[in-house]
Amino acid sequence: MARINDNYLKLKAGYLFPEIGRRIKAFTEANPQAKVIRLGIGDVTRPLAPAVIEAFHRGVDDLTRVESFMGYGPEQGYDWLIDAIIDNAFKPRGVNLKRSEIFISDGSKCDCANILDIFDLGNKVAIGDPVYPVYNDTNVMVGRTGEADSRGYYEGIVYIPCTEENHFTPPIPQEKVDLIYLCFPNNPTGAVAGKEQLQQWVDYARTNEAVILFDAAYEAFITDPAIPHSIYEIPGAETCAIEFRSFSKTAGFTGVRCAFTVVPEALRARNAQGEPVALNQLWNRRQATKFNGVSYPVQRAAAAVYSPEGWRQNQEIIDYYMENARLIREGLEDAGVTCFGGTNAPYIWLTTPAGLSSWDFFDQLLNECHVVGTPGSGFGPSGEGYFRLSAFGQRENVSEAVSRIRKNLA
Ligand SMILES: *Cc1c(COP(=O)(O)O)cnc(C)c1O
């Protein structure tokens, strides 16, 4: 009989969202008249910008005619999309990238996972706590860890607690690590990192020959002009960092699927003989072998995000979500709740009132306010005592949820 990859058996069953679903189901069955408002899930609700939809349609129409039909495209993505990204997302921030350094994909989740293909299992990995679970679970799947302990920490991974004391930004580890996941603006905490902080990480990575895996899925939600949108705004980062970007949250592409990964040509890591090898070549080989590119109309739609109308329309959508974030944060702060995030990120991370556990507060909100959020403990042990609310809902629902919570806590 064939053998399985036993590493999969080390994973704890997907617990967080199924458990949330189970509790909502039990509640709505017992209270069929209650209008439950969901501020839990990290998915967008606004439709695509009109200019993006038009480009998407035109892309489909191109496929209807022999003259403009498109089959397989380049595995790395079309140059017109890559150029739009270079000129609009990076050049204005003083970052000069080459076409060959950008790889278009169908999602950052898969890129964050697939990147492990090009790194040796012996690398020591550092992960924040709480964290986007993909970073942790994909390292378990490839076999870089032992078993999980009772808290859910896997043997072999260096976890860096992100707490109120360190403003939910991971401090530089004491020990030497080889791969470091950083996510700013952060999911789940909404924390951001300034230039000095990122410079410390870049300096650490260069000193220790480590590689930073920088997830910038929420960069478009940054409102403070002093906060970098890209790790490459930090001098030296092009020699020590890979950056993941996605159109999912920034342009409503969660269901459309388009993202990209930046692997600078100057970035190197060592082979078994100790010789430096360009990671760009390895990622290019990996993508060309295992991936056949993103759908042509989808890339047309993504390029339209950078058109003048597309950009303006999309900014209105981002502003809508950030106004939701403000309503949630200020509403809850008025009610005496300690809130973090929500100013440069679409997530509000709050301290559970009266020292409740994350799940007890979840039950209180569900049962008494009919509002669903996400228990912080679901993102890692250091999330216990915290709770995440998402700003991606419809305005009426957000306002209604905030007023219910305020009445409940008054
Ligand atoms: C939503 C999200 C992504 C984006 O994933 P896609 O696969 O591009 O939809 C990446 N990182 C984090 C932390 C996210 O929350």
What CATH number is attached to the domain comprising 152? 3.40.640.10
pLDDT at 17: 87
Within-domain flag for 289: yes
Close Cβ partners of 343 (under 8 Å, ≥ 6 residues apart) = 190, 223, 224, 325, 326, 329
Amino acid at 333: E
Count structural domains, the chain: 2
Ligand 1 center to residue 246 CA distance, Å? 7
Query: In whole angstroms, what is the distance from residue 393 CA to residue 399 CA?
Result: 10
- List the 347-351 sheet strands across, edge first: 339-341, 347-351, 386-390, 374-375
382 and 245 inside one domain: no
143 and 288 inside one domain: yes
Within-domain flag for 1: no
Question: Mean per-residue pLDDT for 2-10?
Answer: 97
82 and 141 inside one domain: yes
Average pLDDT, the chain: 97
118 and 259 inside one domain: yes
> Which atom of ligand 1 is closest in space to residue 109's alpha carbon?
7
Ligand 1 center to residue 257 CA distance, Å? 10
Mutate to test the pocket of ligand 1, among 215, 245, 392 (most ligand atoms within 8 A of CB): 215
42-57 pLDDT, tens digit each: 899 999 999 999 999 9
Cβ-contact 184, 193 below 8 angstroms? yes
pLDDT tier for residue 41 given thresholds of 50, 70 and 90: confident
Ligand 1 center to residue 159 CA distance, Å? 20
State what percent of residues in the chain have pLDDT above 90. 96
229 and 340 inside one domain: no
271, 290, 308 - which closes a domain = 308
3-state secondary structure of 299: helix
CATH of the domain at 29: 3.90.1150.10
- DSSP line for 175-191: S--SEEEEESS-TTT--
Phi, psi of 277 (to 5 degrees): -125, 140
pLDDT tier for residue 167 given thresholds of 50, 70 and 90: very high
Ligand 1 center to residue 275 CA distance, Å? 33
pLDDT at 14 exceeding the cut of 80: no
pLDDT tier for residue 16 given thresholds of 50, 70 and 90: confident
Within-domain flag for 296: yes
Within-domain flag for 30: yes
**Nearest CA-CA partner of 244 in 198, 181, 189, 202:** 181
Within-domain flag for 159: yes
Ligand 1 center to residue 146 CA distance, Å? 26
Mutate to test the pocket of ligand 1, among 127, 221, 246, 256 (most ligand atoms within 8 A of CB): 246
262 and 338 inside one domain: no
In Å, what is the CA distance from 361 to each residue of 47, 298, 371?
Answer: 31, 40, 11
Q: How far is CA 93 from the centre of its chain?
A: 21
First to last CA, the chain: 62
Instruction: Return the H-helix or E-strand segment holding 244.
Output: strand 241-246
260 and 145 inside one domain: yes
Ligand 1 center to residue 104 CA distance, Å? 14
> Which atom of ligand 1 is closest in space to residue 110's alpha carbon?
7
pLDDT at 203 exceeding the cut of 90: yes
Name residue 104's beta-bridge partners: 260
281-336 pLDDT, tens digit each: 999 999 999 999 999 999 999 999 999 999 999 999 999 999 999 999 999 999 99
> Which atom of ligand 1 is closest in space to residue 132's alpha carbon?
13
Question: Mean per-residue pLDDT for 94-118?
Answer: 98
Q: Which residues line ligand 1 (CB under 6 A)?
A: 42, 107-109, 132, 183, 187, 215, 217, 246, 248-249, 254, 259
Global pTM value? 0.97
pLDDT at 18: 87
Cβ-contact 378, 385 below 8 angstroms? no
Query: In whole angstroms, what is the distance from residue 314 CA to residue 357 CA?
Result: 37
280 and 367 inside one domain: no
pLDDT at 391 exceeding the cut of 90: yes
Within-domain flag for 181: yes
Query: In whole angstroms, what is the distance from residue 80 CA to residue 82 CA?
Result: 6
381 and 334 inside one domain: yes
Ligand 1, atom 11, lies closest to the CA of 217
Kindly tell me the burial class for residue 275, based on how many C-beta atoms sit within 10 Å of its own C-beta (0-12, 13-18, 19 or more): exposed
Ligand 1 center to residue 110 CA distance, Å? 9
Q: How far is CA 379 from the centre of its chain?
A: 13
Mutate to test the pocket of ligand 1, among 132, 138, 192 (most ligand atoms within 8 A of CB): 132
Ligand 1 center to residue 108 CA distance, Å? 5
399 and 345 inside one domain: yes
pLDDT at 4: 98
243-270 pLDDT, tens digit each: 999 999 999 999 999 999 999 999 999 9
252, 278, 308 - which closes a domain = 308
298 and 353 inside one domain: no
Ligand 1, atom 12, lies closest to the CA of 217
30 and 131 inside one domain: no
Ligand 1, atom 2, lies closest to the CA of 217
Ligand 1 center to residue 355 CA distance, Å? 30
pLDDT at 381 exceeding the cut of 80: yes
Question: Mean per-residue pLDDT for 92-105?
Answer: 98
Q: Assign 3-state DSSP to the chain and report helix, strand, coil percentages, each to 5.
A: 45, 15, 40
Within-domain flag for 402: yes
Q: Which residue has the tokens 């890129």?
A: 111
Question: Mean per-residue pLDDT for 106-132?
Answer: 97
Cβ-contact 249, 346 below 8 angstroms? yes
308, 325, 346 - which closes a domain = 308
Domain that holds residue 338: 6-47+315-409
Within-domain flag for 232: yes
**Residue 253 half-sphere exposure, CB side, CA atoms within 13 Å?**
31
List the beta strands (DSSP E) in 250-331.
Answer: 259-262, 268-270, 276-278
Question: Mean per-residue pLDDT for 60-85?
Answer: 98
121-155 pLDDT, tens digit each: 999 999 999 999 999 999 999 999 999 999 999 99
204-223 pLDDT, tens digit each: 999 999 999 999 999 999 99
